Structure formats: C-alpha cells, structure tokens
Amino acid sequence: MGAAALSTGCNSKVPGETHKDTTFPNPIKDKTKHSYQDLSRSAETIPENIVSQTWSKPFVPPQTIPSSAEVVIIGGGILGVSTAWFLTQQGVNVVLCEKGHISGEQSSRNWGWVRQQGRDIREMPMMLESMKIWHELSADIGEDVGFRETGCMYATKNEDDLNRWAENWLPIAKEYGLASRVIAGDELRHYAHGALAPWKGALYTPSDGCAEPHKAAPAIARAAERNGATILTTCAVRGLETEAGRVSGVITEYGVIAAPIVVCAAGVWASMFCKSLGLSIPQTIVRGTVVRTVPSESVLDSCIWEQNIGIRRRQDGGYSVANSASNDYSIDSDFMHESTTPAQWSLDSESPFEKIRVLNPNPNPDAISSIRESLETIFPGLGNIKFAEVWAGIVESTADAVPVIDQSEKIPGFYIAAGLSGHGFGIGPGAGKATAGMLTGKETGIDLSAFQLSRFREETTIKALDNLPKSASIS
Ligand SMILES: Cc1cc2nc3c(=O)[nH]c(=O)nc-3n(C[C@H](O)[C@H](O)[C@H](O)COP(=O)(O)OP(=O)(O)OC[C@H]3O[C@@H](n4cnc5c(N)ncnc54)[C@H](O)[C@@H]3O)c2cc1C
C-alpha cells in the first residue's frame, strides 16, 4: 500500500442524465432501465420488522479477532462499509470494527433519499461520484440495494421560496450538469399525482433517486467481506494504541489489532471518540422520527419534501414518511449531553461504546401524529394507511453541515471520516471511495481539501449552504 496521502486531484464533473421535459418519463415504472423491483407485487410477504430487524437482532460477538491489519475502520455505517469495499478493491488488508450491528444506527434509519439537489457546492464532486456508484452498485456487489432514479423535489405553496431556491440552486445544477428545474401545473401533478396541496411549484432534479437503507450498507459489508475484508460486529473500539506518537493499532473490547492506519467512521460517536484523543470535532445531534407504511397504491413518482412532510415510495410498495419540520433535540437518553459525556474512559474495562451498542431513541409521538395529519391533508389516498413500523434515529451534523474527511494533524496514521450531517446516505458510497483514496494515496478525482478539520479553526471559512429549505438538509 502506498503512503497515506490526501487526495488533491481536481473535481470531477459528470454530466447529469438528460431528461426530456415533454414526455414526463415515469422512471419508477420503467423496470428495465432503472432495475426497479416493486416488491409489493411479489409473492413473498414483507417481514413486519423489515427495517428494524437491522438493529434488533441478537448480538453475535466475534470468535476471534485478527492480530493485525493494514487498515482498521471504526464503524459499520454506510461510510465505513463503503470505505472497506473500496479498500478491498485495492487489495488492502482491512478490518472493520462495529460496536453493534452493521448499519444499526443512522445508515438504516434514514429516509433513503439519494439527493444531489440542494447540496453544498463543496459536496458536489463527491456526490456526483456517489451517484455513479449507486447506479452500478447492485450489479457491482451482486446484491440489490434498491436504488432507483426517481427524482427528488422540494414543493412549496410560497412563490418566494420557489424563486429563492431556483435562484440559488439552478446555477449550481447547471455547473454540474444536472437537469434541475422548477416544475408546476400538469408536470407537478404528474409526479405528485396523489397530492392535494396548493403548491405553487417545486424544485425538481430528475436524476436524483433513492435506495433502501435497510439493504444498502449490510449488502456492501457482505461484498467487502467476500472481497477479503474482515467485518467484526459486536466489537467496540475503545481507543487507539500509539508508538512514538503515531498510530500502531486499535484497542477493541477483545484485544488489540495492530495497524498503521486507523479511520474513525463512527457517525454520531465520532466526536466523543476523537475528544478522548484530544481532537475536537464540532458536532450537534437531533432526533428524527420515521414511519414505514404498508404497501399501497402509487400517489407519487418522486421523493417529495415540503414544509410538513418528507415522503418517498419504498421498493416494497409502502412509503417512508417523516415530518419534515419535527427533528428535535429532546432526546430521551442522556447520550452525548455535554454534562454527562465522558471525555476519557479506561481502555481495559467496558467503554461507553459497549454500554450503548445501538443508539435506538424512542420515536417522537408528536411527530407520528403530525405525519398522520399531513398524510390526511396532503395525500388523502394514504390518510388511513396502516403504519407498519415507526422508528427514530439520531442524526449528527458538523457546524457547517459538511463532512470531515481528513487525517489528524496530531496523531499520524489516524484519520476521520464523519459528520455526514443528515444527508450522508446518498453521498456515503462516494465518501467511502474518497476516504479509501485518502488512506492509500490512490487518486479518486475527489478533492478533499474542503473537508479538512482545520476549517473549524478558521471561522471565516465556515459557511453553511443557504440555498435550500433548512429542514430539508436532513434527507
Ligand atoms: C431519520 C434520518 C433521516 C435521514 N435521511 C437521510 C436521507 O434521506 N438521505 C441521506 O443521504 N441521508 C439521510 N440521513 C443521514 C444518513 O443516514 C447519515 O448521514 C449516514 O447514514 C451516516 O453514515 P455513517 O456511516 O457516517 O454513520 P452511521 O450510520 O451512524 O454509522 C456509524 C457506526 O459506527 C459505530 N460505532 C461508533 N463508535 C464505535 C466504536 N467506538 N467502535 C465500533 N463501532 C462504533 C456505530 O455503532 C454505527 O453503526 C438521515 C439520518 C436519519 C437518522
């Protein structure tokens, strides 16, 4: 493996899919082109806990752990497993340690949107790369991840919103070759045919899409494993081992794995893990509540966000629905509250990561009620639909809602890949490819200079994107 290095390559710009305005193609029904599988029509019954089984199954501790690896990844979310998958493609001997279940936290609980629209311009090259990966992912890993190019839209009753979004986003879309546009009237009704809302219009990107969160990261982990990675679950990393100031391995709950390179892809926990090493990652958290409905008739052909609801049709024919305005801070656990968060812990006894193997907050009952109300008023065809599953997830965000993908200046050999900030499912595969490139020095064409941790020391450079509806930044 080559020396670890930051990728400094130029941004890759990939032209977006050409979209013909006049014909209103209906990708969700075009199974050949988009490999859409409508599982609601299959003979197989959908397990009642199709999503929550990701995190509610029994913990299976590893029987043995390897004594060494070239790279150890901490965290088995979409970012950790994608990094592992891309590292194995370079022949790297990689071990991934996950304290609970693969994809047990954010990566299985999200809305499933794979969205380019409204992204911070710093994320665009990585997101375009991610989109290319999503298109080929099921074929590349040999398992279905449920990706479909459905389009994503932000709809609004307010003309000023629409004008502002268009003014801010359309020049960026054009620069990156995306066919984003404002839609209204018949075209809007076409994509949101079951909606009864007085929307003035929507900002729409036809080449956006969605995938199935309960499938994607576990499938990528299995592919990485088939390619030679060691994937350890129920295996928390308590801390680092260093020699002469640089990383020499990780200390897991089952012992040491020696490694010259360690990457922290610990999602919500990244800040706590790094704080124990004297590294500060400004990270805030909110709770998001999500509902899965039973399969039903089609009321939309796109992922739709508006001020009360975020909704997409699932591959199983149901809907994943959230109240777009109800992410909240009133988390029912003392997890990560400044006053109770341990800054240090012993490395030879149970750590905070083993105490909470899976961060599984209670759903917010107010959010569930307002999802029901929003369905009744906006999509009356779903007004009485049965909620099959309800869950919540803790979403982490950096101060400027853009990831940190960087090496530590303080501890050579230690890297951080976290802070995907509420929209990391879609960008996860691209971020994993970029992270793998950062670790091995392999050129990926994705410039990571905007994701350095040092930006938080230079206050003037911190600028969150102001071009999209604020609460749509989770999706
Ligand atoms: C309700 C909700 C809706 C969302 N909607 C969308 C959406 O529609 N589209 C989108 O793109 N994004 C969305 N997101 C955001 C997206 O889910 C996250 O940005 C993304 O999944 C983060 O991936 P990750 O791999 O960085 O972190 P995670 O998936 O959180 O994985 C981190 C893993 O690290 C493990 N870990 C932590 N510490 C340790 C340790 N010390 N040792 C071992 N393992 C450890 C954890 O157990 C966890 O499994 C949403 C998130 C939520 C919660």
406-456: per-residue pLDDT in tens? 999 999 999 999 999 999 999 999 999 999 999 999 999 999 999 999 999
Ligand 1 centre from 269 Cα, in Å?
A: 10
Confidence of residue 134 (pLDDT cuts 50, 70, 90): very high
For the record, the structure tokens of 283 come out as 């990270």
Name the residue of 106, 232, 277 whose CB sits within 8 Å of the most ligand 1 atoms, as the mutation to test its pocket: 106
Q: Convert the pLDDT of each residue in 137-174 to its tens digit.
A: 999 999 999 999 999 999 999 999 999 999 999 999 99
Ligand 1 centre from 201 Cα, in Å?
A: 32
Confidence of residue 31 (pLDDT cuts 50, 70, 90): very low
In angstroms, the CA 225 to CA 227 distance is 5
Atom of ligand 1 nearest to the CA of 418: 26
Confidence of residue 22 (pLDDT cuts 50, 70, 90): very low
Ligand 1 centre from 229 Cα, in Å?
A: 20
| Contact predicate 375/383, CB 8 Å | yes
Name the residue of 96, 110, 134, 284 whose CB sits within 8 Å of the most ligand 1 atoms, as the mutation to test its pocket: 110
Sort residue 97 into left (φ over 0), alpha (ψ -120 to 50) or beta. beta
CA torsion, ordered 461, 463, 467, 471, to nearest 10 deg: 160
Name the residue of 55, 105, 263, 394 whose CB sits within 8 Å of the most ligand 1 atoms, as the mutation to test its pocket: 105
**What are the percentages of helix, strand and coil residues in the chain, rounded to 5?**
30, 20, 45
In angstroms, the CA 331 to CA 344 distance is 23
Ligand 1 centre from 107 Cα, in Å?
A: 4
Ligand 1 centre from 427 Cα, in Å?
A: 12
Mean pLDDT of the chain: 88
DSSP 455: G
Ligand 1 residue neighbourhood (C-beta within 6 Å): 74-80, 97-100, 104-107, 109-113, 236-237, 265-269, 273, 288, 290, 353, 393, 395, 418, 420, 422-426, 428, 474-475
What does the pLDDT read at residue 223? 98
Query: Residue whose CA is closest, atom 41 of ligand 1?
Result: 237
Q: In which order are the strands placed within the sheet that holds 303-306?
A: 181-183, 201-205, 152-156, 303-306, 309-313, 319-322, 283-293, 387-398
Distance of CA 439 to the CA centre of its chain: 21
Ligand 1 centre from 153 Cα, in Å?
A: 23
In angstroms, the CA 19 to CA 334 distance is 48
β-bridge mates for residue 255, sequence order: 252
Q: Convert the pLDDT of each residue in 390-408 to its tens digit.
A: 999 999 999 999 999 999 9
Residue 145: closest CA among 220, 93, 195? 220
Give exposure, 268-298, as e/b (b: 16+ Cβ within 10 Å).
Answer: bbbbbbbbbbebebebebbbbbbbbbbbbeb
In angstroms, the CA 172 to CA 189 distance is 26
Q: What is the DSSP string of 158-202?
A: -HHHHHHHHHHHHHHHHHTT---EEE-HHHHHHHTTT------EE
What does the pLDDT read at residue 399? 92
Confidence of residue 458 (pLDDT cuts 50, 70, 90): low
Atom of ligand 1 nearest to the CA of 422: 15
Neighbouring C-beta atoms of residue 410, cutoff 10 Å = 12
The full set of domain ranges for the chain reads 39-473
Ligand 1 centre from 376 Cα, in Å?
A: 31
- Percent of the chain whose predicted confidence (pLDDT) is above 70: 84
Atom of ligand 1 nearest to the CA of 358: 47
| Phi and psi angles of residue 352, each rounded to the nearest 5 degrees, phi first | -60, -25
Q: Convert the pLDDT of each residue in 229-270 to its tens digit.
A: 999 999 999 999 999 999 999 999 999 999 999 999 999 999
Atom of ligand 1 nearest to the CA of 357: 47
* Fold (CATH) for 39-473: FAD/NAD(P)-binding domain (3.50.50)
The SS3 of residue 470 is: helix
The SS3 of residue 44 is: coil
Confidence of residue 329 (pLDDT cuts 50, 70, 90): low
Atom of ligand 1 nearest to the CA of 80: 25
Query: Residue whose CA is closest, atom 50 of ligand 1?
Result: 110
Reply yes or no on whether the pLDDT at 27 is more than 80.
Answer: no
C-alpha angle 27-320-43 in degrees, rounded to nearest 5? 70
Atom of ligand 1 nearest to the CA of 393: 53
Atom of ligand 1 nearest to the CA of 97: 43
Query: Residue whose CA is closest, atom 38 of ligand 1?
Result: 266
Ligand 1 centre from 254 Cα, in Å?
A: 24
In angstroms, the CA 464 to CA 457 distance is 15
